[in-house]
Amino acid sequence: GIPYTDSRDANPGEVWEENEFWFALSWEIDPDGSLGIRQFFESQERPGERMTMDEYYDILFDKAVPGLPAAAEAAGLTPLQYMRKFGAFEVVKDQYRLDERPLTDAELEGAVPDENGVLRKPVTMESQPPLVGEAGAVGLQHQDGSKVFGWLSPSRKLELYSTTLADWGWPEQATPGYIESHVSANQIDRDNDEFVLMPNFRLPTLIHTRSGNAKYLNEIANTHPLWFNAGDAAAMGLATGDLARVSTEIGHFVARVWATEAIRPGVVGMSHHMGRWYQDGHPGSRWVMGKVDLTRTDDGVWSLRYKEGIKPFTSDDPDSERIYWDDPGVHQNLTFPVQPDPISGMHCWHQKVRIEKAHPEDHYGDVSVDVTKSREAYQRWLSMTRPGPGPGGLRRPEFMMRHVTPRRKAYLYEPARSTEA
């Protein structure tokens, strides 16, 4: 019964529903419709006005969910009313072995098997691959002549041998097996107090680094300890509350120990939610950020040290004066070198670290980073990659998942693309 303009007026914390945001943004980009964008977000019921979320989901549920309109009609409801009442709709029952699903006539139209039995339709460099799979590939023809959907691999089969890895320069990884990582047991010298650091585990009460303005969540979880196996801690003379220096390849940070049986021996962990900081003269969320001094030596060593932690402050929200915690956490990420996986390019987050008792000059939250060592570490990881382009001048395999898939010609390395053009 309370009037509202959009979901920000109704959701706790003025959260704006994502779809509604995109609709609003489209109208800001194209206010008069001259760019041809606004028309796709205009109300069909009220021409000239922006489509509402009710209209959007009414159309979506009516046109894009097979079986839902009939089920809703049988219940005397519209599709939107049905989903509001029941919250879910089972589109297909007993859906197993999709790889053995016979292809439809529409899927088979124009498709011919290649030398490996993959059924393909004609494509050009202007064709657009699907979310997963190769452009034009629709299924697999078995030796008995049956034509099925198959898997979304290049062979449309469940591959125990990956021709992709072999063709792209990694033949030793083409069959399933263990790949020894930079934090395997063989790489960790436990006699030298080396550990595996998990810097990316999550607490159930915080959301990555996105909950800095969620005061209730920060009240629940507002400390940032170094999870340390109790046996390991005792062997090193460390106890809960003690400061420890955690050294990476390029620097170190200082954290507070929490000795617990809740983590495996040889492994330490720090959640990735905390460690926010700001400098004098720069704005920041005072709910979660500590003020720091940031310095750099002539030889490229950066140091960060807290001047003050979180403290109560006066604002329009009276709860800001009720803050009782002071720990902004430790910005551990600064001490991690860039570690791109040689095959996928993703960052390898786990770190090999050496732990010792804090030095006399160490303070909680201290961070030190040598940028020269950081670049050297990155260059070493980069040297483990193998040069491209791949087969046919491709930048990446076409069949691998990619959102907002471009046309096939975008997958070509520039010289190959010029030749193709």
With 0.85 as the threshold, say if the pTM is over it: no
User: For residue 199, is it within any domain?
Assistant: yes
CA distance 155 to 137: 10
Please state the φ and ψ torsions of residue 83, each to the nearest 5 degrees: -70, -35
Residue 356 and residue 394 in one domain: no
Please report where in the chains the tokens 């003379």 appear, as a residue: 237
* pLDDT above 70 for 420: no
Residue 154 and residue 253 in one domain: no
Model confidence over 66-85: pLDDT tens digits? Answer: 999 999 999 999 999 999 99
The C-alpha R_g of the chain, in whole angstroms, comes to 28
| 3-state secondary structure at position 410 | helix
Residue 249 and residue 163 in one domain: no
User: For residue 179, is it within any domain?
Assistant: no
Residue 221 and residue 318 in one domain: yes
- Last residue within a domain, chosen from 45, 67, 86: 86
Residue 335 and residue 219 in one domain: yes
* pLDDT above 90 for 17: no
Q: Which residues contact 300 (CB under 8 A, 6 or more apart)?
A: 370, 371, 372
Residue 202 and residue 296 in one domain: yes
Model confidence over 144-158: pLDDT tens digits? Answer: 999 999 999 999 999
| 3-state secondary structure at position 102 | strand
Mean predicted confidence (pLDDT) in 368-377: 98
CA distance 364 to 358: 9
Task: Enter the tokens of residue 104.
Answer: 């439809």
- Report how many domains make up the chain: 3
Residue 358 and residue 402 in one domain: no
pLDDT above 70 as % of the chain: 98
User: For residue 1, is it within any domain?
Assistant: no
Residue 319 and residue 229 in one domain: yes
Residue 362 and residue 395 in one domain: no
Q: Name the pLDDT band for 421 (thresholds 50, 70, 90).
A: very low
Task: Enter the tokens of residue 394.
Answer: 């491709």
Domain that holds residue 336: 185-382
Which pLDDT belongs to residue 415? 63
Residue 287 and residue 305 in one domain: yes
Residue 253 sits in a domain whose CATH number is: 2.40.40.20
User: For residue 209, is it within any domain?
Assistant: yes
CA distance 418 to 127: 17
